[in-house]
Amino acid sequence: MFTESDRPLFGSMYTDSMPHSSDRPFLIALGLLGGLYVLLVAGLLVADVLHTSPDTFAAALASPPIRSALWLSLLSSSITAILAVWVGVPLAYLLSRSRFPGKWLVELLVDVPVVLPPVVVGLSLLLLFQTTTGRWFERTAFPFTYAVAGVVLAQFTVVTALAVRSLRVTFDTLTPRSEDVALTLGCTRAGAFWRVTLPEARRGIMAAFTLAWARAMGEFGPVLVFAGATRYRTEVLPTTVFLELSTGNLEAAVAVALLLVAVAVAVLVVLRAAGVKAGAS
């Protein structure tokens, strides 16, 4: 936090006055560089909108295969987001508040799905269930490979890593003082966690759930490789875009893409309205 005495060192960036004339070239250069990316994103959205029409959009949503993919996307994303938060909260809490042997290895493994190419995640899941243990599990429990459960597992593998990252930032920013006070008043560690820490972290948990849900909706590579893209069975919206493009139906592909864009924008609007940013409580 800067004090009043520090303000002259940073000039107009920390005051309400107009920028000094000597600062304008620097600020303009920053604006131009950043503006190029902003224009690119805006251009992508405008291109999608201009390439379709309300009638084409409505016709695509009325298509039985696309409606089936939409419902599966909503269902699988909701289940995935719930599971991601259910697993992410305790894992992020442990990584934030505890020291234990091999913590660095756990942190490394949690981050692996984030940096791996999505197709590699799907291929690795496929190979996992080709092992003796994986085949035994599918025979005795229920199948994952090329099944609806595989869609959820593929989404969960990637999304949970992002949820843990977001939730860990939330717990890192929460002071443990309230929890320590609860412990001195007779609360157990579990009681302090449920009664003090979780309520304080509710905004971060909401952010992690929302972001996990949105990311699961857009997951493509792992789902395609591990669960396939069978219509009326394992097809979700991202794979619908791929299937429509592969058959030359560009209008339907753009319509579904716009639907995914609308979902992403809606999630961002909800987060902004709630005053929540990614990775913050």
Examine residue 25 and state whether it is found in any structural domain, yes or no.
Answer: no
User: Mean pLDDT for the chain?
Assistant: 85
Coil, strand or helix at 102: coil
Percentage of the residues of the chain whose pLDDT score is greater than 70: 89
Band of residue 129 on the pLDDT scale cut at 50, 70, 90: very high
What integer pLDDT is reported at residue 2 of this predicted model?
Answer: 46
Q: What is the DSSP string of 17-57?
A: SPPPGGGHHHHHHHHHHHHHHHHHHHHHHHHHHHT--HHHH
Question: Given this model, what pLDDT does residue 20 score?
Answer: 65
Residue 197 burial (10 A CB sphere; 0-12, 13-18, 19+): buried
Distant-in-sequence, close-in-space partners of 227: CB < 8 Å, separation ≥ 6 = 144, 145, 146, 147, 148, 150, 151, 154, 234
What is the model's pLDDT at position 236?
A: 94
Separation CA 163–CA 96 (nearest Å): 14
How high is the pLDDT of residue 12?
46
Q: How many domains does the chain have?
A: 1
Q: Is residue 38 part of a domain?
A: no
Residue 281 has pLDDT above 60, yes or no: no
pTM of the prediction? 0.81
Q: Which two tokens stand for residue 83?
A: 């599971």
> Residue 138 domain-assigned?
yes
Residue 247 in tokens:
């058959």
Report if residue 31 sits inside a domain: no
Q: What is the pLDDT of residue 119?
A: 92
Mind listing the pLDDT tens digit for each residue in 60-82?
Answer: 778 898 899 999 999 999 999 99
Give the CA diameter of the chain: 73
* Structural domain contains residue 257: yes
64-97 vs 103-115: helix axis angle to the nearest 10? Answer: 160
When pLDDT is cut at 50, 70 and 90, the band that residue 280 belongs to is very low
Per-residue pLDDT, 255: 87
Is position 30 within any domain?
A: no
What's the confidence (pLDDT) of residue 168? 93
pLDDT tier at 191, thresholds 50, 70, 90: confident
Nearest to 229, CA basis, from 248, 244, 211: 244
Domain that holds residue 243: 55-273
211 part of a folded domain: yes
Instruction: Confirm whether 83 is domain-assigned.
Output: yes
Distances 217 to 98, 125, 166, 175 between C-alpha atoms, Å = 33, 19, 18, 33
| CATH number of residue 209's parent domain | 1.10.3720.10
Helices of type H across 118-201: 118-128, 132-140, 148-173, 177-184, 189-192, 198-200
